[in-house]
Amino acid sequence: MTNLKIPHRRQFLHLAAIATLMAAAGEAVAQQGLTPPNFSGLWSHPYLPGFEPPASGPGPVTNRSRLPGGPQAGVSSTSEFVGDYTNPILQPWAAEVLKKRGEVEIGGGLSPTQYNQCWLQGVPFSFFNFGMQMLQTPDKIVIIYFSNNQFRQVRMNQQHPANLRPSWQGDSIGRYEGDTLVIDTIGIKADRPYAMVDMFGTPHTEALHVVERYRLVDYDMAKPALDRSAKENFRLPDGGQPFGFDPNYRGKHLQLEFTVEDQGAFTRPWSATITYARPLFAIPSGWSEFICAENRREHPTGAEAHVPHADKPDF
């Protein structure tokens, strides 16, 4: 009897495996047949430093320096970026890096970042940008950011290379899960100046792994994150700048939820959101040019600046 049961059990497992593969293939085909969500057009998020704390769970580093008065009293200062080095997500060495950078800021100095030094921005640093535009095609997505008109490319429905060579923006692959665009990024180069994840200079290693989830949400669903942002981040003035805040906007919002993992720099994964709305006014050209010009002399000290260069050819 035992000898008779073994073939039947193997046959059952074989059929079950085939059924599972067929179901997965059918789901993939169904996903391909769905019309992907449309995230086109300009999106605005005129806040500094930018990251919105999550409703619960570990969140990003925030600013220890706050505005003492005025209509936005209590929010993050924009003249001092003093990262909270006591945040439990930080490993001791990363906390020490932040503490030293904060001391420079409090002393009136300027801590260099990818933004103020005009360097190429990786994720999640680039999420601070006040404006963003997404170009969607079946095999590739291009995301353009306001700062220096930088852009990144996301390969759709692909896998990360087996032997990935780290680069400044890493390797990003994407897929749709229903109404959500999911982007997975690894391979962000850490052996470079200003290898950081935010405006405070929070460092990362080459173990950095960022997962982004974009979806359109109604105003009522976006409001809790917008309220958290208003308590944490400084909002830029409403008029005069191309991605101004529209206090009366009640249309669809584009919400980015992202999770950051890096066993070399953080003690645990942490998450945050960026909630985009449509800009206050339309830009005639469809996009505003903002160029960060390199200068070998830093302002206002005149010290030699870190200008990107290669010690040896890449090819």
Give the residue from 17, 43, 7 showing the smallest Cα distance to 251: 43
- Considering only residues 82 and 310, tell me which one the structure prediction assigns the higher pLDDT: 82
Structural contact between residues 106 and 82, judged by C-beta atoms closer than 8 angstroms: yes
pLDDT one-digit tens code per residue, 63-115? 999 999 999 999 999 999 999 999 999 999 999 999 999 999 999 999 999 99
| Judgement on whether residues 97 and 233 belong to the same structural domain of the protein | yes
Residues 102 and 172 placed together within one structural domain of the fold: yes
Q: Please work out, in degrees rounded to the nearest 5, the angle formed at the alpha carbon of residue 143 by the alpha carbons of 285 and 280.
A: 45
SS3 8: helix
Q: Which of 183, 184, 195, 189 is nearest to 169 (CA)?
A: 189
Mark whether 14 and 67 lie in a shared domain: no
Answer with the residue of higher pLDDT: 137 or 307: 137
Average predicted confidence (pLDDT) for the chain = 87
d(C-alpha 249, C-alpha 280), whole Å: 8
Decide: 46 and 243 in contact? Cβ < 8 Å. Answer: yes
Residue 196 lies in a domain: yes
Is residue 68 assigned to a domain? yes
Whole-angstrom distance, CA of residue 67 vs CA of residue 65: 7
Same domain, 134 and 108: yes
Above 70 in pLDDT, residue 137?
yes
Q: What is the average per-residue pLDDT within 196-215?
A: 98
On whether residue 302 sits in a domain, the answer given is: no
Q: Is residue 156 scored above 70 in pLDDT? A: yes
What is the percent of the chain where pLDDT is above 90?
A: 70
Looking up tokens 């002393």 gives 107
- Stronger pLDDT, 131 or 218, i.e. the higher one: 218
Structural domain that includes position 11? 1-30
Question: Which tokens is 170 given?
Answer: 């890493």
Sheet strands (E) in 16-165:
42-44, 47-48, 131-136, 140-145, 151-156
What pLDDT score was predicted for residue 312? 79
The predicted structure's pLDDT at residue 282: 64
Is residue 309 one of the residues assigned to a domain? no
Pair 10, 44 in one domain: no
Please check the confidence at residue 3 and state whether its pLDDT lies above 50: no
How many structural domains are present in the chain? 2
Nearest to 95 by CA among 61, 72, 121: 61
Shared domain for 21 and 94, answered yes or no, is no
The answer to whether residues 91 and 127 belong to one domain is yes
pLDDT at residue number 28: 44
User: How far is it, in rounded angstroms, from Cα 97 to Cα 154?
Assistant: 31
Tell me, yes or no, whether 9 and 74 share the same domain.
no
Residue 292, domain member (yes or no): no
Residue 64 lies in a domain: yes
CA distances from 160 to 35, 125, 140, 189, 206 (A): 25, 21, 14, 15, 15
What pLDDT is stored for residue 254 in this prediction?
A: 98
Give the model's pLDDT for residue 300.
57
* Domain contains 283: no
Question: What pLDDT does residue 43 have?
Answer: 93
Domain match, 43 and 19 both: no
Same domain, 132 and 166: yes
Evaluated on CA atoms 275, 280, 284, 290, the torsion sign reads negative
Q: Tell me which residue has tokens 């003492």.
A: 68
**Selection from 113, 102, 270 nearest residue 196 by Cα:** 113
Structure-block tokens of residue 277? 């709305």
CA nearest neighbour of 208 among 181, 242, 184, 229: 184
Domain contains 216: yes
Are residues 255 and 167 part of one domain? Answer: yes
Report the chain's terminal Cα–Cα distance, integer Å: 67
Bond before 124 cis per omega within 30 degrees: yes
pLDDT tens per residue across span 11-25: 444 444 444 444 444
User: Domain check: are 137 and 115 in the same one?
Assistant: yes
Distance CA 48, CA 229 (A): 9
> Which carries the bigger pLDDT value, residue 21 or residue 202?
202
Question: What is the structure's pLDDT at 237?
Answer: 80
- Residue 210's pLDDT band, with cuts at 50, 70 and 90, is very high
Which of 14-18, 44-48, 122-126, 253-257 is predicted least confidently? 14-18
Q: What is the pLDDT of residue 129?
A: 95
